[in-house]
Structure formats: structure tokens, C-alpha cells
Amino acid sequence: MEKQVKEIGTCPLCGGKVIKTCKGYRCENGIGENASCSFYINGIIGNRRMSDDEIKELILKKELMLDGFATKEWKTFPTVLILDDKGEVKMESKIGKCPVCGGDIRIGSKAFNCSNYNNDSDPCKFVIWRNIFGHSMTLGEVRELCRDEITSNEIELFGEDGSLSVKRLGISPDKTKVIKV
């Protein structure tokens, strides 16, 4: 009986097929005696088991925002996984610069916060909630808000009365909140 191989995507290093193994995801050209490719992603990253679909998306888009990672002490945290040009996976919590003070915007469990929020002399209160008007913010949308102070695309948003509208999101003129534009 022939062993069935589950193909996950295309290897970013050599163009071979990325397949699921017992411990993770490896390029087919990195298996066996004549292995020629070093591409490998562990099946568990940051004490979190990765799904096949998450690995497919990471290989395709080169970055992926996810929740549920944990420290050795089992404190959970969200992060952005980045697949670099060498085929290595890195974790990154910084996703942009604060439009108010220039600090780093970091991903949190409920919001994207300025790293200067704890600054004793001049705390920054800038925040972008991860769910705004019933919409789960994407990494691209948050980066646009930080960089351009407005999203380029319209988004389906809910009103307090449950009505649906299609609007862009922007930073308020006083830079204290995200508003419908």
C-alpha cells in the first residue's frame, strides 16, 4: 500500500512541494539521503500546534497574525508569524509606528496598543481595538491606520442599532479613536 502524502504548499526556497511530516512541515527535497533543501517549519510554534491551513497561509502570504501562543510559564499571547527569505519563521509583536507619539504599535489580545502606554512622564493612550463595529481588524488594516490614518478599502461595519454600513475607517482628528469615515 502506497503512503499518502499531504501537500501543504510550494517551498519558498526551491519550489518543491511542502508536505506534512510527523513533526512539522518540510520540503519534499529535504527528505532522504540526497536532501537538497533545508526548508522546515515545526508543527508546534510557541507552545501552539499549527494547523495545515495556517501553514498554507503563512507560506503563501509570508506573514500571519494568530492568537494562542504561550510562554514557558503558559502565559498566552498573540503574535505575527513572519516567514523570512531564508525560510525561517520569526515572531513579531511590533506591527507599526504610533501616529500620535511614534512609539511601536504592538499586538495585544484585545487591541493594538502603543508601547509608550506605560511611559511615566508622557503616557500614550493610542489604541486600535481588534474588533471595531463588529469587524475583526486585519493586520493590513491596522498598518494602514498607523501609516495613513485611514483604510484604503471600505469595510462592512455594524451600527449600535444593528444596521450594516460600508465605510472606511480612519483615525479621529484628535487621534484618540478609530472612526467611520
Give the CA distances from residue 143 to residues 48, 56, 96, in Å, rounded to whole numbers and listed in that order: 25, 23, 6
The pLDDT of residue 111: 96
Query: Cβ(25)–Cβ(55) under 8 Å?
Result: yes
Say what the pTM is.
Answer: 0.86
Evaluated on CA atoms 166, 170, 174, 176, the torsion sign reads positive
The pLDDT of residue 2: 53
The pLDDT of residue 156: 93
Residue 70, strand partner residues = 76
Query: What is d(CA 98, CA 145) in angstroms, rounded to the nearest whole number?
Result: 9
Q: Which three cell numbers stand for residue 65?
A: 497574525
The pLDDT of residue 76: 95
Query: What is d(CA 117, CA 124) in angstroms, rounded to the nearest whole number?
Result: 5
The pLDDT of residue 121: 87
The pLDDT of residue 18: 97
Low-confidence ranges of the chain (pLDDT < 50): none
The pLDDT of residue 6: 80
The pLDDT of residue 3: 56
Query: What is d(CA 168, CA 163) in angstroms, rounded to the nearest whole number?
Result: 16
The pLDDT of residue 106: 96
Query: Cβ(106)–Cβ(94) under 8 Å?
Result: yes
